[in-house]
Amino acid sequence: MNEPSKKPFFVGYLDMPVQLKRFYLLVVLLLGAFVALAGYTIASQQKSTGPALWLTDATETISGLLVVDPYPVLHRIDPDNPERTESILLVNQGKISAHDFARPFQNKMVSITGYPILRGGWSMYELASQQPIKVDEDGGNETLKSRLAASAKPTSLGAVSLSGEVADSKCFLGVMKPGAGSVHKACAEVCLLGGIPAMLLVQGEDDKKYGYMLIQSDGSSASKLISKRAADYLKISGELQQRGDLLYIKMAENGHF
Amino acid sequence: MSHEFILVNWNKRKQVYDICLWIGIALYLSLFVLVSHSRFQGEHSISSLIILIRAFSTCGFIMLTLILCIGPLARIDGRFLPLLYNRRHFGVSFFIIALIHGALAIFWYHSFGDINPIVSVVTSGGDYQSFNSFPFQLFGLLALLIFFVMAATSHDYWNAVLGPTWKTLHILVYPGYALLIVHIGFGAMQEDNTGLLPSMVFASVILVGGLHVYSALFCTRANKMIDSARNDSGTEWVEVGKWQEIENDRAITVSVGKDERVAIFRYDENKLCAVSNVCQHQNGPLGEGKVIDGCITCPWHGYQYRPQDGCSPPPFMEKIETYHLKLQGDVICLNPQPLPAGTARPVTEIPVAGN
């Protein structure tokens, strides 16, 4: 006859056999150690997407000349260096362009209230919810306005052909970190469909990313046009332009990228 | 076991199981969030919501891997059966974690725009003809829908109502797992240049696949195979072995035909009975069970059946098929023709030496 089995038999609604209690003490300890190690290791292996800030604690107000097309941009004197001008991209809250808000203030000296988004040499403001744009009461200094308008005019820098990732500027500049790449693709597409300025991110030889605003051959926003190619790595040819301190690529052939 | 349906069926053992499970989940999530925030600060920080999305996604994937390992582990070594006992709560907990991941991702990546977030999940995010921009979100959503159906029916009520369909429905966990692998492969893995994520997925697939193959090849539930056991009239008696081979209060399992297994128990030292090997609750292997308090007890969830008629003791109502047995000397003979579930038949007694 068989010897009675020493194997413990577990029934959920009865007391657990002592041998199994010891076994499960070990199992729980090992699983706990595994869980802690996994949590620590996986979190540690993440990568920073580079220095960027989205200052949401309090709004800030800046003044300058507002240009609406192709993308809303406030051109102002650089507070740190009065000899140069600075171009600040403007976007609405959420994944929506600031075009509708900015349109009535086209080419006017205004004050903008919003939340700064900063990465490297780029600046963007997300408009505040209450009266984000006000016309300067004195109409602005005409000399200053002329200087800023001249700076905002496109200057051709010649033909260019560059390869890089199509991104929405708002997320990339610091609203989402990371705000580019394949996981972010759908978000970039929603942003571009909402009119957020489109950007081509080009990896430089110095391993830094250089951003070029993308516009159509007629000079208008390319955001919606290129939205389906968000996060794709494309070669784009066209005319390189400078407007203020921002670089734009006026794409040669719409849709052919 | 229960004779009535209640929303969550807890007992002390399940409570301990759930507490350990959720302590593990909390430990993983909190460590992930704390490490992420402490290592990446200020202008180098990672968005808090993205940290949460990553924490819940990796937590869910580890949970699903462990869930899929429990079944084969329990077949390989019976000491893992207690993990199987409450695997249902583990599964529902996994679904909650996956749902939070999905909800956060939809909120963060697909909301705040001009387009409906759910429409955006289905229509945006890729090109089916491009490897680099394959729309991985859709696969995650499909997997989540599968896990939702499983979680929603993960209850004895649905088990009873759906019958065999329930088991088929819950086999969908494997397509769900495959969809999740595709979701990760075309999504987060595309951006991972550390090799950690591909290693995680590879290890998971090897572990889950390896355990399933090993248990299928080397852990057959039948102790004996009986070929051509049944003739057309179903009255042929077949020898299944000596009664001494069966430990008291335990069973041997024999396969009769292609899909049918019979558990032959010895109990009260000198009594024998044969019943279907399949528990009516979740198809647990009764032959790996034990006679406790005079009842055959399933090793998975403790469902019980009387040896003499295959009926659960009142007030429970489950019934299993029974079989006729007879003894020829020391040899047990089985009539492989099953009797209707719950049919009583004469107890087969082993003659006591000297009588």
As to burial, measured by CB atoms within 10 angstroms (0-12 exposed, 13-18 middle, 19+ buried), residue B245 is middle
- Confirm whether A2 is domain-assigned: no
Strands B251-256 and B224-226: parallel
Dihedral sign computed on CA atoms, order B141, A188, A190, A63: positive
Q: What is the pLDDT of residue B275?
A: 95
Domain boundary among A152, A173, A191: A152
What does DSSP say about strands A209-215 and B304-305: parallel, antiparallel, or unpaired?
unpaired
Q: Which CATH class is domain B224-349?
A: mainly beta
Residues in A closer than 8 angstroms to B39, CB to CB, are 43-44, 46
pLDDT band at B229 (very low <50, low <70, confident <90, very high): very low
With an 8 Å Cβ cutoff, are A12 and B112 in contact? no
The answer to whether residue A7 is domain-embedded is: no
A100 and A171 fall within a common domain? no
Locus of tokens 């056999």:
A17
Same domain, A181 and A168: yes
Q: Does any domain span residue A61?
A: yes
Count up the domains in chain A and report the number: 2
Q: Tell me, yes or no, whether A171 and A244 share the same domain.
A: yes
Q: What percent of chain B has pLDDT over 70?
A: 90
Per-residue confidence band for A133, with pLDDT thresholds at 50, 70 and 90 = very high
Instruction: Evaluate whether residue A223 is within a structural domain.
Output: yes
Measured at the CA of A131, the angle between CA A126 and CA A136, to 5 degrees, comes to 100
Please report the pLDDT score of residue A33 as a whole number: 97
Q: A-contacting residues of B 306-345, CB under 8 Å?
A: none
Query: Does some domain include residue A24?
Result: no
- For residues A201 and A239, membership in a common domain is answered with yes
Flag whether pLDDT at B222 surpasses 60: no
Furthest C-alpha separation in chain A: 109
Q: A128 with A164, same domain?
A: no
| Residue B312: DSSP 8-state | P
Does residue A40 belong to any structural domain of this protein? no
Q: Among residues A134, A152, A170, which one ends one of the domains?
A: A152
Which residue among A1, A185, A186 places its CB closest to the CB of B244? Answer: A1
A21 in any annotated domain:
no
Alpha carbon distance B310, B340 (integer Å): 10
Domain boundaries of chain B, sorted by first residue: 12-218, 224-349
Domain that holds residue A168: 155-251
Do A142 and A93 share a structural domain?
yes
Residue A219 has which token pair?
């000079």
- Look up the ipTM and state it: 0.91
The whole-number pLDDT of residue B259 equals 72
**Structure-token pair, residue A52:** 């960027």
Q: Is A40 exposed, middle or buried (0-12, 13-18, 19+ CB in 10 A)?
A: middle
What number of other Cβ atoms are within 10 A of residue B305's Cβ? 31
Taking residues B156-177, what's their average pLDDT? 87
The answer to whether A231 and A180 are in contact (CB under 8 A) is yes
Of A51, A181, A190, the CB nearest to B113: A190
For chain B, list the strands marked E by DSSP.
Answer: 224-226, 238-242, 251-256, 260-267, 271-276, 290-292, 295-297, 304-305, 322-328, 331-339, 348-349
The verdict on residue A9 lying in a domain is no
Summarised one tens digit per residue, pLDDT across range B101-116 is 999 999 999 999 988 9
For A97, the closest chain B residue by CA position comes to B113
**What's the CATH number where A98 sits?**
2.40.50
Measured CA to CA, the distance from residue B53 to residue B257 in angstroms comes to 50
**A177–B contact, CB cutoff 8 A:** yes
